[in-house]
């Protein structure tokens, strides 16, 4: 445990001796090994570093979207790296919200239907899922655009739909990979302000991969991925927001 903002804080996400190795021909490509990470409950953490350093790979492992070659990942007392595939999928649906640089909205569905999708997968009724989804779209300022399909929305609006979809299941953790990477400066700032507000409102534990210096320095803590390890402090490898 550590003190943050004058209060004792506990680690909620814990990665121990984490390794990810890919087989390429007759060679093993080691992305990282013996990597350790703790994210405190309620913390907003920025992961920075050069392209190809392994930030997105780490985020995928933390989100249970891929399995480590070695090591363990805990959310509280739950070791997600040891869960069966179906159990991992259920855990992701209940506990983790994802925001990607590419929005991955289903083009044939409306904004409301895209936001409803995680709840329908969870087995909620149409009416209950729609009610919760309306509330999240309201929260990101898109209630009036609920009936529009993805192609009818601007880039910033699409990303706000993604935020609503990420939060509709009331997760405890938000993982975001370059959430402002495809947006212009002003829209990116608006999306980050919205992310920061939602982080506080929903009492989330958040991990953001970003190259945006302005974004990173407004988080509670910065970790830079360098040579397969995590270095605290300086936002090495980030770029100015402008």
Q: Phi, psi (5° rounding) for residue 175?
A: -115, 125
User: Is residue 4 a part of any domain in this protein?
Assistant: no
CATH of the domain at 122: 3.40.50.300
Residue 143: which pLDDT band, with cuts at 50, 70 and 90?
A: very high
pTM (two decimals):
0.89
User: What is the residue range of 196's domain?
Assistant: 10-232
Specify whether the backbone of 113 is left (phi greater than 0), alpha (psi in -120 to 50) or beta: alpha
- Neighbouring C-alpha atoms within 13 Å toward the C-beta of 132: 19
Q: pLDDT of 113-140, one tens digit each?
A: 999 999 999 999 999 999 999 999 999 9
| pLDDT of the residue at 94 | 94
How many domains, in total, are found in the chain? 1
User: Is residue 222 a part of any domain in this protein?
Assistant: yes
Q: pLDDT of 184-201, one tens digit each?
A: 889 989 999 999 999 999
User: Is residue 20 a part of any domain in this protein?
Assistant: yes
For residues 51 and 238, which has the higher predicted lDDT (pLDDT)?
A: 51
User: Is residue 241 a part of any domain in this protein?
Assistant: no
User: Is residue 1 a part of any domain in this protein?
Assistant: no
Residue 3 has pLDDT above 70, yes or no: no
User: Is residue 3 a part of any domain in this protein?
Assistant: no
- Asked whether the beta carbons of 133 and 115 are under 8 A apart, the reply is yes
Residue 56 has pLDDT above 60, yes or no: yes
Q: Which two tokens stand for residue 191?
A: 């999306």
User: Is residue 184 a part of any domain in this protein?
Assistant: yes
Could you tell me which of 77, 7, 43, 5 has the C-alpha nearest to residue 174?
43
- Asked whether the beta carbons of 59 and 229 are under 8 A apart, the reply is no
Mean pLDDT of the chain: 90
User: Is residue 127 a part of any domain in this protein?
Assistant: yes
């Amino acid at each position: 445990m550590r003190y943050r903002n004058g209060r004792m804080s506990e680690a909620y996400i814990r990665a121990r001796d984490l390794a990810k190795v890919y087989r390429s021909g007759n060679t093993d490509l080691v992305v990282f090994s013996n990597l350790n990470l703790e994210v405190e409950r309620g913390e907003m953490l920025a992961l920075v570093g050069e392209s190809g350093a392994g930030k997105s790979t780490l985020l995928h492992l933390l989100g249970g979207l891929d399995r480590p070659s070695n090591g363990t990942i805990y959310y509280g007392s739950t070791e997600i790296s040891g869960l069966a595939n179906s159990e991992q999928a259920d855990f992701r649906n209940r506990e983790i919200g994802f925001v990607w640089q590419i929005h991955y909205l289903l083009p044939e569905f409306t904004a409301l239907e895209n936001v409803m999708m995680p709840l329908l997968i969870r087995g909620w009724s149409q009416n209950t899922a729609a009610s919760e989804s309306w509330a999240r779209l309201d929260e990101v300022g898109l209630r009036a655009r609920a009936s529009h399909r993805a192609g009818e929305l601007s880039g910033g609006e699409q990303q706000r739909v993604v935020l609503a979809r990420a939060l509709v299941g009331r997760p405890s953790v938000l993982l975001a990979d370059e959430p402002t990477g495809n947006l212009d400066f002003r829209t990116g700032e608006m999306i980050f302000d919205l992310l920061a507000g939602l982080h506080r409102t929903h009492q989330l534990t958040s991990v953001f991969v970003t190259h945006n210096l302005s974004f990173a320095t407004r988080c509670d803590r910065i970790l830079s991925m360098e040579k397969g390890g995590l270095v605290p402090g300086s936002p090495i490898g980030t770029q100015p927001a402008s």
